[in-house]
Amino acid sequence: MARFEMMTAGPLCIAAGDSIAAALRRHFGATQTHRAYPVTRDGMLVGLVDRRALESAASGEASVGSLYGVNQAIVALAGETCRSVAARLAVHGLERLPVVAHAGSLRVIGLVSRSDLIKATLTVNADESQRQTIRRLYRRGGRDE
């Protein structure tokens, strides 16, 4: 399987044992690197959390991991196509997904967002547009000779 190329590799994760208040201080604000962060326990994915979820939690002293139940997080797999990941985002109404190495693993290797997928589409469209322009120029050149 090919590695999922559109992801942000090696994202910073929040430990499930961190307090909500500490996670807000450390990860959201002036030094924020992502809009949402994977939450891990013993290196394995528990879920994905954003500022809104942390701020709406009842107690800032509770652990970030306490925000999650027993349901497994929705993820993207490293070998998936952009199309299948985009479909999963749309079906679940999500903006981003953590990327895991393979179906049996919950080890986070990346993060992919809708904007990452749109950038990929823009690149493909730009490449195709350039090929079409070259073809048109070549055909014109052939007629003029």
Domain range list for the chain: 8-113
pLDDT (0 to 100) of residue 126: 55
Q: Which residue has the tokens 């999963």?
A: 88
d(CA 125, CA 57): 42
**The token pair that represents 131 in the structure block:** 């090929």
What is the CATH code of the structural domain delimited by 8-113? 3.10.580.10
Q: What is the pLDDT of residues 82-131, one digit of tens each?
A: 889 999 999 999 999 999 988 888 999 999 998 888 876 665 555 555 65
Confidence check: pLDDT of 63 > 80? yes
Nearest C-alpha neighbor of 33 from the set 114, 137, 111, 141: 111
- The per-residue pLDDT for 88 is 94
- At 145 the pLDDT is 45
